[in-house]
Structure 1
């Protein structure tokens, strides 16, 4: 086969990233080199693989079919090459993780620095994405999600705190002006700061007490995209605009300082912490194997 392997990798990087500049960030190649590789591959195959405009790059039907077949095949090639890593003194390479914003904010800060200090030859790329994704199709080695959103047929390893809670809170100024809710249903009469998934769905606020689960769908003056714009909702809550319902750990500094007052605390719902998940391969890439071992050691108090 005359087609160069690096051209295939370049094409797949562009498709996964949705553009040449975006693909360059994750591939270690410049955008111009990626473009040259794709043009060379198209000339060799005699078919257009990408639709290109000034604002958008998308695979043609032929390009999409090729990408679907290349993804697992080139994954196996990378795994085969990674075997050499086992003969090094220290594992090296790039580890790509796909995580939601809550994990990037609340879980990874305690893990990333000690991990990278322990493995200085590993480069970690963190892609923050709150929607449900196929981590392999997205070009990632592993993902972190909560159990209700884990992909099937994956190995899951607990990571971070094993129990988390949702907290409800408001600024003292808001409570002075509007009063304090005594029951979750009282929130229907209050200004609430809501979040929205990328799909457009607005999750209800869920509460639990003595086995009773209660869901409410309050209204309010502000709606933000979950993950990307949550800090805007927190700032609005601090300014007294309304009541916020968010991860307890996210609000904890403001609860500790008194800038936010906890509300309905007996109803705060607890849930299990997130999991690192990855495909069950016989040979894991060395950076991923190092990360899995590090997370497991941290859970056992040995990291």
Structure 2
């Protein structure tokens, strides 16, 4: 059964955005135009593709099945057309990335300015969130995640520092009052600043490692901030002496460097593998994404200086 390509794109945009108004902002057209396109597609197919309420739009069973196949198929069409444009005009088009808040703060600033300067024909859209999403269904070309168990049809490309650490720190005034811990379990006597993911899960337990020994603790939550948008509030609270914070070392480094935060248990800071850029192997790689991957691979990254404790048996 024939279906207009623009109607299929409209359905994909609305299903990915979970709403006509939201989809209209990214599609550059009106919500009414998208609504008419979806109705036209449903009429041609003879099935309802979307459940519509005043608050949300969700795919029906038929819509979900179409969505699963449609995203990769239209992606290949766009990539094929983009390849022709690339030969004619150089790399151009839109690159959509879904990244965690930490990567938006700590990884992307070292990559995006140079990439945009090298490819003036590419427009980049970055969505920062901490919930795992299907990048294809959400309309993104690729995502960034830490230590993900990716599906077999996903390709992972290292991006950012290959080794990072979680740092624990507090204001000197806080440590003067509560003491300077010599073992992770001593933090149980300190008020601490925790994060909460959108799923509701707290950023616990805190994990420490030294000489092959791992210690996990459940600290007291003096303050809880949302991971997706309020981490900087947690940092400011730590600077003001409200409690101990446990966060990416790169996030805290400026405050550690100027002395406004003091390292806590630095020889216990746990290293972990850096993030990966991932994309589907089921579709042609669009020219903007291919150019971005090449740019990422050419980037050199420095690694943190990991402290080795002088006495492995200590603690």
Taking structure 2 as the reference length, what is the TM-score of the superposition?
0.88
Say whether the 8 Å CA contact 1:85–1:286 is kept in structure 2. no
Corresponding residue for 1:222? 223
Say whether the 8 Å CA contact 2:72–2:282 is kept in structure 1. no
Say whether the 8 Å CA contact 1:132–1:149 is kept in structure 2. no
Pick closer, same or farther for the CA change 1:256–1:149 going to 2, 3 Å: farther
Corresponding residue for 1:279? 280
Pick closer, same or farther for the CA change 1:149–1:189 going to 2, 3 Å: farther
Does residue 1:213 correspond to 2:208, yes or no? no
Structure 2: unaligned runs, 5 residues or longer: 303-315
Q: C-alpha offsets along residues 85-135 of structure 1, whole Å, 9 cap, x if unaligned?
A: 332231111111111111000000111111011111111111112122222
Instruction: Give the alignment of 1:1-303 within 5 angstroms.
Output: 1-202=1-202, 203-280=204-281, 283-299=284-300
Say whether the 8 Å CA contact 1:206–1:215 is kept in structure 2. yes
Q: C-alpha offsets along residues 18-41 of structure 1, whole Å, 9 cap, x if unaligned?
A: 112221233233323222212222
Mean CA deviation greater in 94-103 or 213-222: 213-222
Displaced runs of 4+ in structure 1, greater than 6 A? Answer: none
Mean CA deviation greater in 20-29 or 235-244: 20-29
Count of residues in correspondence between the two structures: 301
Mean CA deviation greater in 45-54 or 1-10: 45-54
Equivalent-residue separation in structure 2 for 1:187 and 1:158 (angstroms):
34
SS where residue 88 of structure 1 aligns? helix
Pick closer, same or farther for the CA change 1:131–1:161 going to 2, 3 Å: same
Pick closer, same or farther for the CA change 1:161–1:96 going to 2, 3 Å: same
Mean CA deviation greater in 252-261 or 278-287: 278-287
Say whether the 8 Å CA contact 2:73–2:283 is kept in structure 1. no
Say whether the 8 Å CA contact 2:131–2:198 is kept in structure 1. yes
Say whether the 8 Å CA contact 2:98–2:140 is kept in structure 1. yes
Equivalent-residue separation in structure 1 for 2:19 and 2:229 (angstroms):
21
Equivalent-residue separation in structure 2 for 1:29 and 1:135 (angstroms):
22
Q: CA RMSD in A?
A: 2.0
Say whether the 8 Å CA contact 2:168–2:264 is kept in structure 1. yes
Mean CA deviation greater in 62-71 or 176-185: 62-71
Q: C-alpha offsets along residues 192-242 of structure 1, whole Å, 9 cap, x if unaligned?
A: 111222222223111111111111111122222223221121121112111
Pick closer, same or farther for the CA change 1:169–1:248 going to 2, 3 Å: same
Structure 1: unaligned runs, 5 residues or longer: none
Equivalent-residue separation in structure 2 for 1:300 and 1:130 (angstroms):
24
Say whether the 8 Å CA contact 2:82–2:92 is kept in structure 1. no
Mean CA deviation greater in 77-86 or 186-195: 77-86
1:164: Cα distance to partner?
1.1
